[in-house]
Amino acid sequence: MTKHAFPTDCPCDSGKPYKDCCFMFHMEKVHAPTAEALMRSRYSAYALRKADYLLYSWHASTKPKELDLSDDKTKWIGLTIVGTEGGQPDDETGTVEFIAKYKIGGRACKLAEKSHFVREKGRWYYVDGDVEE
C-alpha cells in the first residue's frame, strides 16, 4: 500500500487538513460540489504542482494541450475568496472572485481574478478568468 505524504493544512486555506479537503478531488475520486470548491482545489493543485488535476478540471473549450509546473518557481502562500455568484450544485454556471498570494524568488505578489465555471453532467469545470490589475 502506498503511503501519501499530506500537507498538514490544505493549501486552499479552508482550515481543514488536506486529506479531508482537496485530496479527494485531486485523486479524482469525487467531483467538487460547487464552483468555489473546484476553485479551491485548483489553487491547491497549483500549490502542490498537480498539473494533471488542473487539466482534468479545465473545460475542453479553453484547456491547454499541456501544463508543465515542474520548473515553476512560484510558492503559493494564501488564498482569499472575495465573493461568489451561482456555482451551487443545482446551478449551471458560477463565478468565484479571489485573491491568491504567492512569492517568486522571495518577492511577494498577488493574483486577483474572477474565474468563470460551468457545470456539465453534474461536474464543475474551470472555463476562464478575468485577471484584475
Question: Bridge partners of 108?
Answer: 103
User: Can you give the pLDDT at residue 75?
Assistant: 93
Percent of the chain topping pLDDT 70: 95
> Can you tell me which residue has the cell 491547454?
64
Angle 113-60-39 from CA coordinates, rounded to 5°: 35
Whole-angstrom distance, CA of residue 62 vs CA of residue 126: 9
User: Can you give the pLDDT at residue 57?
Assistant: 98
Domains and CATH numbers, the chain: 18-132 (3.10.450.50)
Q: What is the pLDDT of residues 1-19, one digit of tens each?
A: 345 555 689 999 999 999 9
Q: What is the pLDDT of residues 66-93, one digit of tens each?
A: 999 988 889 999 999 999 999 999 999 9
Q: What is the pLDDT of residues 36-66, one digit of tens each?
A: 999 999 999 999 999 999 999 999 999 999 9
